[in-house]
Amino acid sequence: MYLSMYSFCSSFPKKTMPPRPDLLDFHGVSMTHYFTDNWEKIQNFQARPDDILIATYPKAGTTWVSYILDLLYFSQKKPDRQTSNPIYERVPFLEIMIPNHPSGTDLADSLDSSPRLIKTHLPIQMIPKSFWEKKCRVVYVARNAKDNAVSFFHFDRMTYVQPEPGDWNSFLQRFMDGKMVFGSWYDHVTGWWERKQSHPKIHYMFFEDMVEDTGREINKLCSFLGLTSTTKEKDQINNLVQFDNMKKNEMANYSTVKAMDFKISPFMRKGKVGDWRNHFTVAQNEQFDEDYKKKMKNTTLQFRTLV
What's the angle, vertex CA 296, arms to CA 292 and CA 301, rounded to 5? 120
What's the angle, vertex CA 140, arms to CA 138 and CA 144, rounded to 5? 175
Task: Evaluate whether 74 touches 155 at the Cβ level (below 8 Å).
Answer: no
Q: Give the H/E segment covering residue 148.
A: helix 145-158
Q: Is 154 in the site for ligand A3P (CB under 6 A)?
A: yes
Q: Give the H/E segment covering residue 202.
A: strand 202-206
What's the min distance (Å) between Cβ of 13 and ligand A3P? 25
Q: Which is nearer to ligand A3P, 63 or 103 (CB)?
A: 63
Residue 90: phi and psi, rounded to 5, are -75, -30
Which amino acid, 127? I
Residue 60: phi and psi, rounded to 5, are -95, 0
Q: Which is nearer to ligand A3P, 156 or 187 (CB)?
A: 156
Q: Is 279 in the site for ligand A3P (CB under 6 A)?
A: no
Q: Which is nearer to ligand A3P, 122 or 211 (CB)?
A: 211
What's the min distance (Å) between Cβ of 10 and ligand A3P? 18
Choice from 270, 279, 295, 304 touching ligand A3P (CB under 6 A): 270
Which residues inside 227-256 make contact with ligand A3P, applying CB under 6 A? 241-243, 246
Q: Which is nearer to ligand A3P, 233 or 275 (CB)?
A: 275
Choice from 18, 166, 215, 271 touching ligand A3P (CB under 6 A): 271
Decide if 121 is catalytic: yes
User: Quick one: which segment of 43-51, 90-98, 107-115, 264-272 binds ligand A3P (CB under 6 A)?
Assistant: 264-272
Which residues inside 75-114 make contact with ligand A3P, applying CB under 6 A? none
User: Quick one: which segment of 34-42, 54-62, 164-172, 276-284 binds ligand A3P (CB under 6 A)?
Assistant: 54-62
Residue 234: phi and psi, rounded to 5, are -65, -35
Q: Is 2 in the site for ligand A3P (CB under 6 A)?
A: no
Choice from 53, 61, 92, 186 touching ligand A3P (CB under 6 A): 61
CA separation for the pair 31, 128 (Å, rounded): 17
Which of 121, 118, 122 lies closest to 108 in space, CA to CA? Answer: 118
Which amino acid, 300? T
Task: Evaluate whether 267 touches 161 at the Cβ level (below 8 Å).
Answer: no
Q: Which residues have a Cβ under 8 Å from the Cβ of 28 and sit 6 or more positions away? A: 183
What's the min distance (Å) between Cβ of 129 and ligand A3P? 25
Choice from 4, 5, 47, 59 touching ligand A3P (CB under 6 A): 59
Distances, alpha carbon 164 to alpha carbons 50, 155, 160, in Å: 38, 11, 8
Q: Is 259 in the site for ligand A3P (CB under 6 A)?
A: no
Which amino acid, 96? I
Distances, alpha carbon 302 to alpha carbons 187, 194, 293, 299, in Å: 14, 13, 11, 8
Q: Is 157 in the site for ligand A3P (CB under 6 A)?
A: no
Q: Which is nearer to ligand A3P, 58 or 92 (CB)?
A: 58
Q: Which is nearer to ligand A3P, 116 or 154 (CB)?
A: 154
Identified catalytic residue from 121, 154, 188, 203 = 121
Question: Where does this chain bind ligand A3P (CB under 6 A)?
Answer: 56, 58-64, 147, 151, 154, 211, 241-243, 246, 268-271, 275
